[in-house]
Amino acid sequence: MATATDRIRAAKAASSSIGLANTHVKNAVLRKIAELLPERNAEILAGNAKDMERAAAEGMSVGLQDRLRLDAARIHGLAKAVLEVAELPDPVGDVIRGRTLPNGLHLQQVRVPFGVIGAIYEARPNVTVDIAALAIKSGNASVLRGGTAAEHSNRALVQVLQDALELCGVDRNSVQSVDEFGRPGAQEMMQAVGLIDVLIPRGGHSLIQTVLNESKVPVIETGEGVVHVFIDATARADWAVEIMLNSKTQKIGACNAAETMLVHQDAYDRVMPALVEALQSNKVTLHGDERTQAAFSNIVPATEHDWATEYLAMDLAIKTVSSLDEALAHIAKYSTKHTEVIVTEDYSNAERFINEVDAAAVIVNASSRFTDGGEFGFGAEVGISTQKLHSRGPMGLPELTSTKWIVRGNGHVRA
């Protein structure tokens, strides 16, 4: 197709094909995707190798390279996630509420597909499959812009997705990519009023702000993650170490990875030696306040910039706080409202943290890495919404639907 708009129009035309498909057909498509992914392993990895070579040559950060990288295990994981989506309940047609009016009119509010979902994201080929799978199960066509960095990987993956659709009798244009058109393709998506029903940006601050500022299509914001872990005065030392280490190092390129650790001054001497040893032994560069610089070696002085930084790398900012109030104030100032964690054995402090922290996910005594569609039982996610309208937190199948009111009468007219 000659232009990105041609691709978008093709997805719009195909949206009725996927939108009218029943659950059995949609699940058949998903199972075929899961079958084809490992079968096309060589093609997908060949494309990914080209992307990784270019990423290294262009000096892409370690965190972004980790997001970009595919291997046999990750492709198997993608196939497994698609099968999990197939097993999830189909939201389309769910009755949210209903009633019969005194005049006999019967009302129902039911879930329906949006129509066409657009997604703009960076260097994350796994997102190509996640979004397409969720769009298919929720009856939506999708238009994807996965970025130049993952262009070869995404081309191979979209071919798998389209082939699976066609083999199951659904219009293959229900999944489209505009990667080959570069940034102008993304611009056309943002201007595609009447063709794309909702646009979801997923990536760093610059990408998200560009989409929010320039899009004429309705946007669901998925924000960056300046995630805090607060080690309260009563925190168990073993929990603090394990939770902090998992939150920071389990997957550094994830938006739910921790970027700042706040430590209550009354817990500092008790927990910090073990925390610093564990983090530094795992090659985490610590950017510490004055107390941490004085107490430990190899600490980079923390600056104001560190408190607001999503590193997506093996770096962590550390600040000592005198109270829960100070921790809450720091989080309120620097949080991106993604995920916030408290480690504590004080029930009252836990409840205050839950009630006063404004974030899509608030976690008590567990890793920040649990803020994830798969971990929440959604099978996969389109992203983690940090806004408050329509949806918030990991976006699974119900969040990819709108609603329709169905009114059934028997010759009724309004007086």
What is the number of other CB atoms lying within 10 angstroms of the CB of residue 236?
17
Rounded mean pLDDT of 265-293?
Answer: 98
Encoding tokens for residue 82? 């698609």
User: Is pLDDT at 381 greater than 90 in this prediction?
Assistant: no
Instruction: Name the 3-class secondary structure at 95.
Output: strand
In percent, the amount of the chain with pLDDT more than 70 equals: 100
> What is the side-by-side strand order in the sheet with 258-264?
299-301, 285-288, 315-321, 258-264, 227-231, 339-343, 361-364
The least confident of 147-151, 203-207, 243-247 is 203-207
Fold of 4-222+382-408: Aldehyde Dehydrogenase; Chain A, domain 1 (3.40.605)
Which residues, at least 6 apart from 323, have a Cβ–Cβ distance to it below 8 Å?
264
Pure H helices in 69-181 = 72-87, 125-137, 151-167
Reported as type and span, the H/E element at residue 326 is: helix 324-334
Q: For the domain 227-370, what is the CATH superfamily, name and number?
A: Aldehyde Dehydrogenase; Chain A, domain 2 (3.40.309.10)
Range(s) of the chain covered by CATH 3.40.309.10: 227-370
Range(s) of the chain covered by CATH 3.40.605.10: 4-222+382-408
- DSSP designation for 219: B
User: Is pLDDT at 223 greater than 80 in this prediction?
Assistant: no
User: Is pLDDT at 63 greater than 80 in this prediction?
Assistant: no
Rounded mean pLDDT of 31-35?
Answer: 98
Which residues, at least 6 apart from 370, have a Cβ–Cβ distance to it below 8 Å?
256, 361, 363, 376
pTM of the complete model: 0.84
pLDDT at 62: 83
Q: DSSP letters of 170-194?
A: S-GGGEEE-GGGHHHHHHHHHT-TT
User: Is pLDDT at 286 greater than 90 in this prediction?
Assistant: yes
pLDDT at 230: 98
Strands 227-231 and 339-343: what pairing? parallel
